[in-house]
């Protein structure tokens, strides 16, 4: 079905072939995730050219034809023999690879597959939900009260617990930081004892699909004050989600609340991002994203306030769009 939908979009633009090299895009199309490199060409008879070392796993898993890659000249020659003159590429294609194709085909950058991946199937949502369940169970089992442990050791423990609970891996580098480090949205855990507050941003992978949550554990009066503002922004943004609105409208709901309390300049990132096989997909709840929200999308909501040199607070849940926003998992806001 995915290939049929993409072929329809290609036909509208008079594109004969669509080249994919991003591993998760190839996995999405074929159920085979490369381990070295591969070139997937979507056309009337789709094909994947892959390395010799990947042939066994590709033949086991791929739903479309697989051929052992020889060299660029051979692959390009075969495509030209089919009469292919126009080719679409992913915007993420590396320039050195683009150079090898540009002299033989009319090249256009297209996001056909990104559009297709925006809407998750029920099976995809089940996988994301299971990944969320695993990650949240691990979080509940983590002993954050053990203040003698360092940030990096506790981050390692959280990853271990996710794997013990059924994850194949973490879905991104786990953030478990404390004190002034929490004012850095992507801080790295350090070999230091926990301070306050404690910010944990983590996720699990299950059947290739990602989860993503953030919780901030606060202690002081000022930390609680900032937490309450972020929670109000988080809750009202989720409540506002419904099909037909634009993604930027949800970002505005979250951002306006934080602005009202005088912390607009301290909300320094977008309100959320889609996820699936990748931890960051499109669309997202951001100022400039005018994508219309549809049922089947899965997007995070994660407002935050960051006070430079002091501390930061972020709350994040993953939301499935089902006529309204449904929070995946059952992790209470602590």
Mean pLDDT, range 253-264, rounded to an integer: 98
Q: What is the CATH number of the domain that holds 161?
A: 3.90.230.10
Question: Residue 198: helix, strand or coil by DSSP?
Answer: strand
pLDDT of residue 149: 87
Domain shared by 308 and 223, yes or no:
yes
pLDDT > 90? residue 224 = yes
Cβ proximity of 303 and 254 under 8 Å: yes
Domain shared by 225 and 289, yes or no:
yes
pLDDT > 80? residue 232 = yes
Domain end: 86, 118, 150, which one? 118
Cβ proximity of 302 and 314 under 8 Å: yes
Strand order in the sheet with 317-321: 281-285, 272-274, 298-301, 317-321, 325-327
Side-chain half-sphere CA neighbours of 190 within 13 A? 13
Looking at the structure of the chain, the number of domains it has is 2
Q: Is residue 304 part of a domain?
A: yes
Domain shared by 107 and 143, yes or no:
no
Cβ proximity of 216 and 198 under 8 Å: yes
Domain shared by 319 and 227, yes or no:
yes
Q: Is residue 332 part of a domain?
A: no
Q: Is residue 333 part of a domain?
A: no
pLDDT of residue 119: 97
Domain shared by 229 and 307, yes or no:
yes
Domain shared by 159 and 211, yes or no:
yes
Q: Is residue 270 part of a domain?
A: yes
Q: Is residue 159 part of a domain?
A: yes
Domain shared by 315 and 299, yes or no:
yes
* Whole-angstrom distance, CA of residue 114 vs CA of residue 276: 11
Mean pLDDT, range 146-163, rounded to an integer: 92
**Tens of pLDDT, residues 97-120:** 999 999 999 999 999 999 999 999
Domain shared by 132 and 221, yes or no:
yes
Q: What is the CATH number of the domain that holds 11?
A: 3.40.350.10
pLDDT > 70? residue 334 = no
Q: Is residue 305 part of a domain?
A: yes
Which has the minimum average pLDDT: 74-83, 130-139, 142-151?
A: 142-151
Q: What is the mean pLDDT of the chain?
A: 96
Q: Is residue 334 part of a domain?
A: no
Domain shared by 270 and 320, yes or no:
yes
Strand order in the sheet with 106-109: 65-68, 47-50, 38-42, 17-20, 86-89, 106-109
Provide the residue range defining the domain that includes 295: 122-327
pLDDT > 80? residue 148 = no
Domain shared by 147 and 285, yes or no:
yes
**Tens of pLDDT, residues 266-312:** 999 999 999 999 999 999 999 999 999 999 999 999 999 999 999 99
pLDDT of residue 333: 58
Cβ neighbors of 261 (< 8 A, separation 6 or more) are 229
Cβ proximity of 284 and 270 under 8 Å: yes
Residues 250-257: contacts with CB under 8 Å, at least 24 apart: 250/285, 250/293, 250/301, 251/285, 251/286, 251/287, 251/289, 252/287, 254/285, 254/301, 254/303, 255/287, 255/303, 257/229, 257/232, 257/233, 257/303
Domain shared by 130 and 111, yes or no:
no
* Whole-angstrom distance, CA of residue 250 vs CA of residue 194: 34
**Tens of pLDDT, residues 10-23:** 999 999 999 999 99
Mean pLDDT, range 207-217, rounded to an integer: 97
Domain end: 97, 118, 139, which one? 118
pLDDT > 60? residue 96 = yes
Domain shared by 70 and 132, yes or no:
no
Residues 242, 290, 1, 67, CA torsion sign: negative
| Band of pLDDT at residue 332, cut at 50, 70 and 90 | confident
Q: pLDDT above 70 covers what percent of the chain? A: 99
């Amino acid at each position: 079905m995915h290939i049929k939908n993409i072929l329809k979009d290609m036909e509208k633009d008079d594109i004969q072939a669509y080249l994919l090299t991003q591993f998760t895009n190839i996995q999405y199309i074929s159920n085979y995730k490369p381990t070295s490199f591969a070139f997937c060409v979507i056309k009337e008879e789709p094909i994947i050219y892959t390395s010799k070392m990947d042939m066994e796993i590709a033949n086991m898993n791929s739903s479309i034809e697989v051929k052992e890659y020889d060299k660029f000249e051979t692959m390009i020659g075969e495509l030209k023999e089919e009469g292919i003159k126009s080719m679409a590429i992913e915007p993420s294609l590396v320039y050195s690879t683009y150079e090898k194709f540009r002299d033989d085909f009319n090249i256009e950058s297209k996001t056909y597959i990104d559009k297709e991946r925006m809407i998750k199937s029920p099976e995809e949502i089940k996988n994301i939900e299971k990944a969320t369940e695993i990650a949240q169970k691990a979080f509940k089992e983590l002993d954050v009260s053990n203040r003698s442990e360092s940030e990096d050791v506790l981050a390692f423990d959280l990853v271990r617990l996710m794997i013990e609970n059924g994850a194949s891996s973490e879905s991104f580098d786990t953030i478990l930081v404390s004190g002034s480090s929490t004012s850095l949205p992507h801080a790295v855990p350090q070999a230091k004892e926990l301070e306050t507050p404690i910010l944990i941003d983590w996720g699990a992978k299950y059947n290739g699909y990602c989860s993503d949550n953030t919780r901030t554990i606060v202690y002081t009066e000022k930390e609680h004050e900032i937490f309450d503002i972020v929670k109000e922004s988080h809750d009202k943004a989720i409540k506002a989600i419904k099909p037909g609105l634009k993604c930027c409208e949800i970002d505005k709901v979250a951002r306006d609340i934080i602005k009202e309390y005088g912390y607009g300049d301290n909300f320094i990132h977008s309100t959320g991002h889609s996820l699936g096989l990748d931890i960051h997909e499109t669309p997202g709840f951001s100022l400039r994203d005018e994508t219309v929200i549809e049922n089947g999308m899965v997007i995070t909501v994660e407002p935050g306030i960051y006070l430079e040199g002091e501390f930061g607070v972020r709350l994040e849940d993953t939301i499935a769009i089902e006529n309204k926003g449904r929070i995946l998992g059952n992790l209470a806001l602590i």
